[in-house]
């Protein structure tokens, strides 16, 4: 029966290096993607508050406008 068995797979040094490189790159891409998603989420939240965007240049953050209870800026 021993003649019909497949030999056990033995990973060579080159195969191991390629596999480790792929894993490292995948981890880096995931970290970069998480950072980008967090940045987009923060920007979206700031836009919703009125702190960033076209109209934010002419008002105070949070939709408070130009005046506070009758006082000028």
Over the chain, what is the mean pLDDT?
81
Share of the chain above pLDDT 70, in %: 70
Residues 6+ apart with CB under 8 A from 65: 59
Q: How far apart are CA 36 and CA 14, in angstroms?
A: 33
20, 39, 73 from 49: Cα distances, Å: 44, 15, 20
User: What's this model's pTM, rounded to 2 decimal places?
Assistant: 0.55
Q: How far apart are CA 64 and CA 73, in angstroms?
A: 11
pLDDT at 73 over 60: no
Q: What is the pLDDT of residue 27?
A: 97
User: Which tens digit of pLDDT belongs to each residue from 12-45?
Assistant: 999 999 999 999 999 999 999 999 999 999 999 9
Q: Residue ranges of the domains in the chain?
A: 11-58
């Amino acid at each position: 029966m021993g003649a019909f068995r497949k030999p056990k797979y033995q990973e060579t040094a080159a195969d191991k290096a390629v596999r480790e490189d792929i894993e490292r790159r995948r981890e880096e891409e995931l970290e970069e993607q998480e950072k980008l998603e967090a940045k987009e989420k923060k920007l979206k939240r700031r836009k919703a508050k009125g702190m960033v965007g076209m109209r934010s240049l002419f008002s105070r953050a949070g939709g408070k406008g130009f005046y506070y209870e009758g006082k000028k800026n």
